[in-house]
Chains A and B, each alone.
Chain A
Amino acid sequence: MADDSPASHRRDPIKSSVGNVAAQRRRQNAVTVGKERRESLVRAKRLCRVGPSADGEVPVEGNDMITDEEEFHLEAQTSSAVEDLKSAVAYQGKGAMQKRVNALRELRRLLSKSEFPPVEAALKAGAIPLLVQCLSFGSQDEQLLEAAWCLTNIAAGKPEETKALLPALPLLIAHLGEKSSLPVAEQCAWALGNVAGEGEELRNVLLSQGALPPLARMMLPNKGSTVRTAAWALSNLIKGPDPKAATELIRVDGVLDAILRHLRKSDEELATEVAWVVVYLSALSNFATGVLVKSDALHLLVERLATSNSLQLLIPVLRSLGNLVAGDSHTTSTILVPGHAITDGVIKVLVKCLKSEHRVLKKEASWVLSNIAAGSVEHKQLIYSSEAVPLLLHLLSTAPFDIRKEVAYVLGNLCVAPTGGDGMPNLIQEHLVSLVQRGCLSGFIDLVRSADVEAARLGLQFMELVLRGMPSGEGPKLVEREDGIDAMERYQFHENEDLRNMANGLVDKYFGESYGVDE
């Protein structure tokens, strides 16, 4: 409503509308921050809050939600910091270097605060070309460090922001060289690690620009944060899906030796990053797997699994072991032979993982066991008589679904002889009878009831073993007692034809007209 005293009334409407808008934005922000936060949590990129030179600065805790006002200010400050950098770079006179360093430092500080640094504002203001200029050869270490640090954090967020680093890549790679100071090389490696963590496309760009060899060399020294950062960056760089990079890495002179050395002697933090490198080497490259299996690697992985209690370390070490077992049948047939000390060692650490409270360890350890149980009859006997079985039986009835599925694979594999090739594989009746007597059937029938096709299939396959293999025709009775017939009858109107046929086939064959009548 129009007023005769516009001056006094002007402020109030604006204030309230700004208040509402701000409140609305904060609410919207909460949702987006939620989504953004979730995305940032699972990214393979890492923000750098404390520099490698550790100049005594305390990292800012940016976990609480930043208010609209603060955020607005941050963006404005960032834009002006970029402006300052622009003039500092243009300036040619006395003290130019210090000017540049100061401007860079200010920008870097702004990009290291808060959970979501004002990257967009920095990019909009034109930060990248300036930072690239600051990376030019011959620049002072401090300047290189600050510039690389800014780029690291710009690349730590959204995909399009990371992609903006393209012009800087050749220089970042160049500063990985052995002539660079360690802190500078490390910061460049960090930035490149973030770029590699973005996706396949950028990884290929980095590889084609020759990022791998210098990063690999940075992993060779015995210790230091540089080694750790380089290992992490490498794990992002080789993660594929193309196995080329992984194969190239294991071929670099000294890399295998360094990996083994770190697995054997280094502190847990460094060993963790190196273990992730092994994860990708063993998952992607058959060549690398072969090399690793022939080396001391298995033994070292088992050692770590036995002695460490750090979940962060155990996950990649366990998975490396799993990949080496899964990737090459020679692992189980020639090295993890029953009777060898290392085999007992492997079973022991897998049992330790089964006992762990961590879901990932239980699941992946079961997976490894299932692959060992897919070996020879001796392997199956070894596992069957180990401490693993009671633990597995317990997990089958109590653990979350994804673990139960893996456990099912182990138990089922224990009950069948190695696949000859065609037709019905033979049962190992002793194992089947014992496991069924110890109550595993209901766990399998639960899987038959699940909505997961793979699990249902497993359940039905195990039921077939029971129906066929239990002595004295006990099978059908046992299945019926556990409501197995009900579970199978669900499939009559199930959309999956294979499962329908499987279930119907079993009911037809074992619960036929003559079931229960002729006794």
Chain B
Amino acid sequence: MAMVVDCQHDLSFPYWTSTLRRFDPDSPFFSSGNIERELLAKQVALDLTEDERNQLEKMVDKDARGVFCPIVGCGARLISLEDFEDHYNARHTASCSVCSRVYPTSRLLSIHVSEVHDSFFQAKVARGYAMYECLVEGCGLKFKSYKGRQQHLVDKHKFPTSFEFFKKAHPSKKQRQKNHRKQAMHKKDEEASSKMEVENETMDGLVSAVSKLSTSDSSPSTVSFGRRHTRGLPFVPRSVQHEKRADSTPAGAKR
């Protein structure tokens, strides 16, 4: 069942609909109000701290007891929902020192680095070794092509067909122009910039290599994997570089 369904037009997105929401009296939704009732009746409501209240709520409402990190393969227990953001920033933002792309696990980051920034990797691929490993931890399978691995992810691990592990990112026009100018500036001033240029070229090479491997001729999906920190030197898409747009518009600051 390796059919690729074209889901571009049929989004089947669950759109927002406004409907009445009713709750049973023993629903967790009402538990904090119920607790408050009993505390007030016993006249101890004022004696309790926020912490103690949270503890009471956890006792009554099973849902409040354990939140687990929803990132695949993590399963870390979170103290509270508020805790998730800190946990995510601490554990799921492994960033690539070369191109600043960000990955949710260090394993995926290292796979990215091998596949994109390591010419040795490409050399082995060229010689027919199965180098593209499955992204799902514990699977262990390796593939000779990026596309082959991709298909495996969709077929065996139910990844969305629009998923792309490596994708050219698309910054907004203003951001691209800003990057462009930054690059031009750096070329004159810093040495690091020339390294960046080289990297870019290497990356360009890799990108072309990867896209040659790809069997899809239509524009690849736009899901960009590897959110980029805006602080790092960003990757400039090949298409834009070639066009070399010269019109300068004042770049807005990106948050």
* Residue ranges of A at the interface with B (Cβ–Cβ < 8 Å): 38-39, 41-44, 46, 239-241, 276, 279-280, 283-284, 311-312, 315-316, 319, 323, 325-327, 329, 359-360, 363-364, 367, 370-371, 373-374, 401-402, 409, 412-413, 415-416, 418-419, 423-425, 449-453, 457-458, 461-462, 464-465, 477, 480-483, 485-486, 489-490, 492-498, 500-502, 504-509, 511-513, 515-517, 519
Contact = CB atoms under 8 A, between A and B. Distances in A.
B104 interface: yes
A47 to B, nearest CB: 9
B143 interface: no
Contact of B222 (A44, A371, A511): A511
A516 B176 contact: yes
Nearest to A509: B11
A326 B20 contact: yes
Contacts of A465: 15-16
Given A42-B38, A316-B37, A501 B70 contact: no
Interface stretch (B53-61, B182-190, B192-200, B201-209): B53-61
A484 to B, nearest CB: 11
A504 B171 contact: no
Given A425-B17, A495-B72, A240 B25 contact: yes
A193 B167 CA distance: 65
Contacts of B29: 367
B173 interface: yes
B111 interface: no
What are the 9 closest A-B residue pairs judged by CB atoms, nearest first?
Answer: A512-B222, A413-B18, A326-B22, A451-B84, A461-B16, A374-B18, A283-B25, A513-B219, A360-B33
A507 B69 contact: no
A517 B227 CA distance: 19
Nearest to B29: A367
A363 B26 CA distance: 16
Interface stretch (B39-47, B115-123, B125-133, B144-152): B39-47
Given A239-B25, A480-B172, A504-B160, A492 B15 contact: no
Contact of A46 (B20, B26, B41, B71): B41
Given A401-B82, A513-B222, A500 B56 contact: no
A453 B68 CA distance: 11
Interface string B73-107: 10000100110110010001000000000001100
Contacts of B19: 374, 419
22 contacts: A42-B59, A359-B32, A371-B20, A374-B19, A401-B82, A412-B18, A425-B15, A449-B85, A462-B16, A464-B15, A464-B16, A489-B227, A490-B88, A493-B104, A495-B71, A502-B13, A505-B13, A507-B224, A511-B170, A511-B224, A513-B219, A516-B170
Contacts of A402: 32
Given A38-B56, A402-B32, A477-B172, 18 more contacts: A41-B39, A44-B38, A423-B15, A450-B84, A452-B81, A464-B13, A465-B16, A481-B254, A485-B224, A489-B223, A500-B160, A502-B13, A504-B163, A504-B223, A507-B223, A508-B8, A509-B8, A519-B173
Contacts, number: 203
Contacts of A509: 8, 11
A29 to B, nearest CB: 18
Most chain B CB within a 10 A radius of its CB, from A240, A371, A490: A490
Given A283-B25, A461-B15, A515 B37 contact: no
Contacts of B85: 449
Interface of B is mostly: loop
The prevalent SS among residues of A at the interface is helix
B170 A517 contact: yes
B70 A374 contact: no
Contacts of B67: 451-452
B55 A38 contact: yes
Contacts of B221: 508
A319 B81 contact: no
A500 B39 CA distance: 41
Nearest to A446: B85
A370 B21 contact: yes
Contacts of A453: 70
Contacts of B59: 38-39, 42
A501 to B, nearest CB: 6
Contacts of A43: 38
A279 B26 CA distance: 11
Contacts of B56: 38, 41-42
A490 B227 CA distance: 9
B255 A483 contact: yes
A284 B225 contact: no
A507 B224 CA distance: 8
A192 B114 CA distance: 71
Contacts of B34: 42
Contact of B42 (A41, A504, A519): A41
A493 B18 contact: no
Residue from A280, A453, A501 with most neighbouring chain B CB atoms (10 Å): A501
Nearest to B176: A516
Nearest to B35: A42
A384 B31 CA distance: 29
Contacts of A401: 81-82
A489 B225 contact: yes
Nearest to A240: B25
B222 A515 contact: yes
B23 A516 contact: no
Nearest to A421: B17
A507 B30 CA distance: 36
Contacts of A492: 104, 163, 223, 225
Contact of B25 (A284, A486, A498): A284
A20 B176 CA distance: 73
A41 B105 CA distance: 43
A506 B13 contact: yes
Contacts of B224: 485, 489, 507, 511
A311 B23 contact: no
B186 to A, nearest CB: 22
A516 B160 contact: no
B55 A516 contact: no
B36 to A, nearest CB: 5
Given A329-B20, A451-B70, A360 B36 contact: yes
Contacts of A412: 16, 18
